[in-house]
Structure 1
Amino acid sequence: MKKKVLLTRTLHDFALKELRKKYQIEIHSGKIPIPQTKLRSRIKEIEGLICFPYDKIDKEMIKHARNLKVISTYSVGFDHIDTEYAKEKKIRVGYTPEVLTDATADLAFSLMLDIARRVSEGDRIIRNGKWNEIYGAYDYVGTDLQGKTLGIFGLGRIGSTLAKRAKAFDMKIIYHNRKHVSKSKEKALGAKYVSFEKLISDSDFLSVHVPHTKETDHLFNLKIFRKMKKTAFLINTSRGKVVNQRDLESALKKKTISGAGLDVFEMEPIKKNNPLCKLENIVLAPHIGSSTKETRKKMAEITVKNLILGMNGKKPIYSVGY
């Protein structure tokens, strides 16, 4: 009898075909994310789980898993999974980091361009019938990227790739990490290591590329925004909870900083009555950092491979902990 695998949402046809060859698969097709009560009921029977970043796989959920061998998440982040407890229970956890690097860096850069040149704001002006005259010398002006300082918080895969894009636009690049990257990498990217305090105070554009942890939770708050330049812009394509959303709303309203570009939020999806939606000096994207046809296909391929390896008692291609 084939082993049971649950998908909390469907994947590409080629991925499902590959899974059906080996396993008895069940695909949740109801409310997204899968209700915790349903997941709790199904996790008791399955040996493999394919989940998504909005699925909460915490300790209490994993406790109900009697036969679970592997959790394969269709995402670069894994903060929705209690990886420590999974390791304790000898459950392998796979994720999909490298394949979405370019797509996410491209989106971060597009958010920078958009907020700097007020593209989305202009789109709304036209669609709402408010473009009533040709703009003059001081009307509706944006900001150049050339010559500006890009601060990158987290010079990992995505942060490094963003630096390459910024270098082509003649931006000055500074970064802060837990530790320096190699001198050769700094030279290749044209990036200079600075303290966190200097990153905050010197950046014209500050792009966040760190995971959500106890240390980074609400790290960007009013205290930090007040230390940034009034002309600065915050870009976040990492995790929503790294930024205190209420504090950001306040900072944007009071022009403590000039603007922001967000692809991630504390609670997703956000509704149209969210206070951020009423602000003009912010560009909002619906968590689409990895959302290109090419990237999503590669993610599906790795998600399936991670699951198959884990089901066979082997380490996933990209593994967390065990």
Structure 2
Amino acid sequence: MASSRLPKVFAVKAIPPAGLARLRQHCQVTVNEKKGWPTREDLLQGVRGMDALFVFPFVKIDREVLDVAGPQLKIVATHSVGLEHIDLELCKERGIKVSYTPDVLTTATAELAVSLVLATARRLDECFCAVKEGVWGTCWENSLWLLGKQISGSVVGIVGLGRIGLAIAKRLAAFEVSKIVYTGRTPRPESAAAVGAEFVSFDELCKQSDFVVASCSVNESNKNLFNREAFKKMKPTSIFVNVARGVIVDQEALYEALASGEIGAAGLDVTNPEPLPPSDPLLTLPNCLIVPHIGSLTDTTRKIMCDLVVDNILAGVEGRPIISPAF
């Protein structure tokens, strides 16, 4: 087939070399090589006349983008589990396929959640700073200096016992916790049985748990789920970990709860907005550890994700059923 007849693909930012090479065997590929996320102008210029879009979260695929892309657009393939950045209803209305990457982030995200639990429980960020700033060795007279918290014997609360929540629960159970409780829209008896978890209300989970881990999907009903009232129900020693989405947390309320000692600490992989501005007050708190949305950021997981996006694009432009459709 002549190169001029190959399907056209636009990648909104750089993608792994192996995935790019596979795409270029079958398609004309244009990649936005600029550092950081594309500007709106770059996005609109890049999508014009494309048959497929290789996209990432935080790049909005809305009516304007779809209009500019043109009627030949066959598939929008996102390198993510989240789909909130894509106008799914409009894509469905126009017959544009949408694919995503479910079931491949579970292990990496669960491992990151456990990392945040450990890092906040043992105050590792403060410990690193103490070493770097020369404080280490000056406070031995205080036996409670950098006093941490054990996971063993604690109550762990999981908000959202789906694939990721269950994987987190299984890993934390190995620390010999005293109890695992969970909450969500409906009980999940089979998943719960695998870790001996008990279904409770959200309020009860907040009251009981020493560690509260959010791993739920986002919907209109749980935006700002973790608000002032929720933090007031938690123990003053509670540690809150969020690997779900930033929008489920009222960050002003979280700041107040952490600054006042209403809760003990927080570990966040997700914030609202992302990236979080360096001036955000949460970054001034020693008991708040924030990492830059790295839940799926392992070499193994990112390779699998990229391969799945490429497989979906090739199927979409060739008129075959895509592997992981969003609808």
Q: Distance in 1 between matches of 2:64 and 2:195?
A: 44
Matched, 1:284 2:306: no
Q: 1:210 to 1:58 in 2, by over 3 A?
A: farther
Note the C-alpha offset of 1:314. Answer: 3.3
The answer as to 2:20 corresponding to 1:13 is no
- 2:82 counterpart (65, 74, 77): 77
Task: Specify every segment of 5 or more residues in structure 1 that has no aligned partner in the other structure, as ranges.
Answer: none
- Alignment check: 8 A CA contact 1:4 1:46 kept: yes
| Residue 43 of structure 1: aligned partner | 47
Structure 2 residue corresponding to 1:232, chosen from 225, 232, 238: 238
Whether the 8 Å CA contact 1:28–1:34 is kept in 2: the answer is yes
Percent of paired sites with the same residue: 38
> TM-score scaled by structure 2?
0.93
Greater mean alpha carbon deviation, residues 188-197 or residues 20-29? 188-197
Counterpart in the other structure of 2:113: 108
Aligned residue among 2, 7, 15 for 1:3: 7
SS at the partner of 1:219?
coil
Alignment correspondent of 2:225:
219
Which one is further off, 104-113 or 88-97? 88-97
- 1:121 and 2:130 correspond: no
Report the CA distance between 1:313 and its aligned residue. 2.8
Residue of 34, 41, 44 corresponding to 2:38: 34
Assess if the C-alpha contact under 8 Å between 2:161 and 2:191 holds in 1: no
| Deviation at residue 221 of structure 1 after TM alignment | 1.3
- What displacement does 1:214 show? 1.8
Aligned amino acid, residue 203 of structure 2: E
- The Cα RMSD (Å) is 1.5
Given the alignment, which residue of 299, 311, 317 partners 1:311?
A: 317
Match of 2:100 in 1: 95
Which residue type is aligned with residue 243 of structure 1? V
Q: Which moved more, 1:212-221 or 1:69-78?
A: 212-221
Matched residue, 2:187: 180
Cα distance in 2 for residues equivalent to 1:120 and 1:176: 29
Contact 2:266 2:289 in 1 (8 A): yes
Answer with 310-319 or 115-124: which moved more: 310-319
Instruction: Report deviation, 1:231.
Output: 1.4
Could you tell me whether the CA contact under 8 Å between 2:139 and 2:145 is conserved in 1? no
CA pair 212-62 structure 1, distance change in 2 beyond 3 A:
farther
Distance in 2 between residues matched to 1:91 and 1:10, nearest whole Å: 23
Q: Give the Cα separation in 1 of the matches to 2:44 and 2:219.
A: 25
From the superposition, tell whether residues 23 and 253 of structure 1 become closer, same or farther in structure 2 (CA, over 3 Å): same
Deviations 1:105-133, CA, capped at 9 Å, x for gaps: 00101100111111111001111122224
Task: Kindly report which structure 2 residues correspond to 1:151-166, keeping only aligned pairs within 5 A, or say none.
Answer: 151-166=157-172
Cα displacement string for residues 79-100 of structure 1 (whole angstroms, at most 9, x for unaligned residues): 1111122111111111112111
Q: 1:101 to 1:63 in 2, by over 3 A?
A: same
Contact 2:160 2:215 in 1 (8 A): yes
Which gives a bigger RCO, structure 1 or 2 (Cα 8 Å, sep 6+)?
1
Whole-angstrom CA distance in 2 between matches of 1:15 and 1:140: 45
> Which residue, out of 188, 192, 202, partners 2:198?
192
CA offset at residue 166 of structure 1? 1.1
The separation in 1 between residues aligned to 2:86 and 2:326, in whole angstroms, is: 10
Aligned to 2:281: 275
Say if 1:206 and 1:234, in contact at 8 Å, map to a contact too.
yes
Distance in 2 (CA, whole Å) between partners of 1:201 and 1:314 is 50
CA contact (8 A) 2:97 2:316 kept: yes
Stretches (4+) displaced over 3 A: none
Whether the 8 Å contact between 1:237 and 1:289 is mirrored in structure 2 is yes
- Report which stretch shifted further, 288-297 or 270-279: 270-279
The 1:60–1:200 alpha-carbon spacing in structure 2 relative to 1, beyond 3 Å, is farther
With over 3 angstroms needed to count, the CA separation of the structure-2 counterparts of 1:271 and 1:294, relative to structure 1, is same
Letter in 1 for 2:265: G
Matched, 1:243 2:249: yes
- State the aligned residue count: 320
Q: Is the 8 A contact 1:15 1:301 kept in 2?
A: yes
